[in-house]
Amino acid sequence: MVQRSEQGSTAHLLPSSTLLSQQLTPHIVQTDGAWNRGSQTAGIGYLISRNNEQWSQASVTSFVASPLIMEGLALRSAHIKCKDLGLQM
């Protein structure tokens, strides 16, 4: 199967498998964190990657009551970045 792509007055045929692979290559989202019970601080971060593109962030957050909240904060920050990049989940 081929899909037609027009540039100016010249039509080019592109293999649909090439188009699909460009559209369906998934973004990989990884999150992680570390929590300190004594100080109730957490280090959180994420890495979003696709092919040769990468976005990452790491930060320290205070007043984190548990490791579960720390994980939620890491997921939340990655989700916000995905929305900023226009990625759909």
Condensed to tens digits (0 to 9), the pLDDT of residues 3-50 reads 444 444 445 554 555 545 556 678 899 999 999 999 999 999 999 998
Least confident of 19-23, 66-70, 77-81: 19-23
Q: Give this prediction's pTM.
A: 0.70
Q: Kindly state whether residue 13 falls inside one of the protein's structural domains.
A: no
Is the Cβ–Cβ distance between 78 and 46 less than 8 Å? yes
Q: What does the pLDDT average to over 49-65?
A: 94
Residue 52 has a pLDDT of: 87
Calculate the CA 82 to chain-centre distance. 5
Structural domain range at position 75: 26-84
Task: Evaluate whether residue 34 is within a structural domain.
Answer: yes
Q: Is residue 1 part of a domain?
A: no
Residue 2 lies in a domain: no
For residue 47, the model assigns a pLDDT of: 96
Q: How many domains does the chain have?
A: 1
Backbone angles phi, psi at 24, to 5 degrees: -100, 0
Task: Give backbone dihedrals phi and psi of 54, rounded to 5 degrees, phi first.
Answer: -145, 145
70, part of any domain? yes
- Is 7 contained in some domain? no
